[in-house]
Amino acid sequence: MADQLGRPHTRPLLAAALVLATLGLSACGDEDDNALAPSLEPASVPDIRGPEDPDDPYVGLLDEAFREDLEAYSQQEVTLLAAVEEVISPRAFTVTSTAGEDLDPVLVVTTADVGNIDPEVGQELVIAATPVEDFDADTAIEELRLDLDATELDAWDDDVYLLATILEEAP
**Does 138 fall in a domain?**
yes
pTM equals: 0.72
Residue 126: partners with Cβ closer than 8 Å, 6 or more residues away: 45, 46, 48, 79, 80, 81, 166, 167, 168, 169, 170, 171
The dihedral of CA 140, 48, 56, 101: what is its sign? positive
Q: 159 is in which domain, residue-wise?
A: 58-169
- Check residue 2 and give its pLDDT: 52
Q: What percent of the chain has pLDDT over 90?
A: 59
Q: For position 111, which CATH number holds?
A: 2.40.50.140
**Does 42 fall in a domain?**
no
**Does 18 fall in a domain?**
no
- Number of independent structural domains in the chain: 1
**Does 142 fall in a domain?**
yes
Quick: pLDDT tens for 22-72: 344 444 444 444 433 333 334 578 777 766 667 778 889 999 999 999 999
Rounded distance between C-alpha atoms, residue 112 and residue 126, angstroms: 17
Quick: pLDDT tens for 99-128: 888 899 999 999 999 888 899 999 999 999
